[in-house]
Amino acid sequence: MLSNLAVRDIETLVHPYTNLATHREVGPLILERGEGVFVYDTTGKNYIEGMAGLWCTSLGYSNEELVEVATEQLRKLPFTHIFSGRSHDPAIELAEKLKEIAPVPISKVFYGASGSDANDTQIKLVWYINNALGRPQKKKIISRLKGYHGVTVASASLTGLPANHTDFDLPIANILHTSCPHHYRFAQPGESEQDFSTRLAAELEEMILREGPDTVAAFIAEPVMGAGGAITPPEGYFEKINAVLAKYDVLFIADEVITGFGRTGNMFGTTTYGLNADTLSCAKAITSAYFPLSAVMINEATYEVMVDQSRKIGTFGHGNTYAGHPVGCAIAVKTLEIYQRDNIIEHVRKVAPRFLQRVEKLAEHPLVGEARGVGLIAGIEFVKDKATKAQFEAKKGVALKSGAFAQEEGLIVRPLGGDRVAFCPPLIISEAEIDEMFDRYERALAKTLNWVKAEGLI
């Protein structure tokens, strides 16, 4: 029987990325508090937050330093905007820190409130800059199938997932999608990772030539594909992609919304995988998700064009109310301070081998075809037949069922796309907590196998 709180939820909320019909029957998991890597529901049951919320609560729950700095800023200056030349110290200090740690040369920072609006800004800037440079035809932006870049009209168009397009009349014009760099699923028989990367780079070049290099403005990519399945790139992929983009004067937008601030074992995934990025989008772990905040980091060449256009037009006509929110910026400054003071990157590098060892062990399970990750992010893929990589019917929801069993075992993971499950715990997780997380998931896998057999799916 559903609790009163659950009934109230059903009658009042629309939940993102939720089967709304099923939700009316089963109701929500209602969380009440969090501590470290654990969250607790209204009955007091604990769950390891194996997804750091939504890839974001990097410093875990109830970090008192972040609570205190937020409270202090709320008392001092709870809000002001940065329109029309206004500013405040937290926004300035955060921008200075971001410039210091950026993995590529950065001149200026533009704030927003989410990864979606950061990537929306990236699209607008690409179009704006090319108009300013007298190249009105150079507007197309290439994303990737299974890439995830947001849910606004423009950023959802970049996203290469069917559910984000179906019946939303997306993608919009000037957005293209090239191949997904998932070696396990899309490589040809016997094709090495290097050869697969070479083929994908050639496909990108063919697309640019087919569309016309004078019409292709930018390419956007996550260093590790997040909502598309927690997919790490094959060997040589970004090196080969970099060469194609440079050949045809195509900007590289790095979407660091998930991988930024330590997730891959470096401050940015751009460093881990050698992206020759021109601009970067970041959000999520910039505040450890304690406040909605995003940042677009742009280079000097882009900024100079923006300045020239302001002289011409009279303003830079883009921004939102909460851009550079003082509370968010203050929290972000403290978050970056904690990353550096507490050597969070070194901690990730220390515990990542244990995390990846436990991930790879999951590949021994009869339902798991691939288990792969980097740093503290990983994905597994369910298969009906390990030898042929044959998949279950998506409507059977095997990954979704495994997520439900994980929840029974006190673990929150994220099923993705019907056949994959992602792990992305808070960066502060200990080796003992990593073991407990995967012990719980292995019990969930055992339940999943029993369910699959009972349903006659294998």
- pLDDT one digit per residue (tens) for the chain, 458 residues: 889 999 999 999 999 999 999 999 999 999 999 999 999 999 999 999 999 999 999 999 999 999 999 999 999 999 999 999 999 999 999 999 999 999 999 999 999 999 999 999 999 999 999 999 999 999 999 999 999 999 999 999 999 999 999 999 999 999 999 999 999 999 999 999 999 999 999 999 999 999 999 999 999 999 999 999 999 999 999 999 999 999 999 999 999 999 999 999 999 999 999 999 999 999 999 999 999 999 999 999 999 999 999 999 999 999 999 999 999 999 999 999 999 999 999 999 999 999 999 999 999 999 999 999 999 999 999 999 999 999 999 889 999 999 999 999 999 999 997 799 999 999 999 999 999 999 999 999 999 999 999 999 99
Distance CA 410, CA 408 (A): 6
Nearest residue to 260 (alpha-carbon basis) of 289, 281, 275 = 281
CATH 3.40.640.10 assigned to domain 66-341? The reply is yes
**420-423 sheet: strands from edge to edge:** 368-374, 377-382, 420-423, 414-416
Do the first three CATH levels of 4-62+343-454 and 66-341 match, i.e. the same topology? no
Specify whether the CB–CB gap between 434 and 354 falls below 8 A.
yes
Distance CA 276, CA 241 (A): 9
Q: Which CATH architecture has domain 4-62+343-454?
A: Alpha-Beta Complex (3.90)
- Domain-by-domain residue ranges, the chain? 4-62+343-454, 66-341
Distance CA 275, CA 428 (A): 26
Cα 453 from chain centroid (whole Å): 34
Backbone angles phi, psi at 225, to 5 degrees: -70, 125
Distance CA 407, CA 22 (A): 17
CA 301 to each of CA 61, 108, 110: distance values in angstroms, whole numbers, following the listed order: 40, 10, 15
User: pTM of the entire structure?
Assistant: 0.96
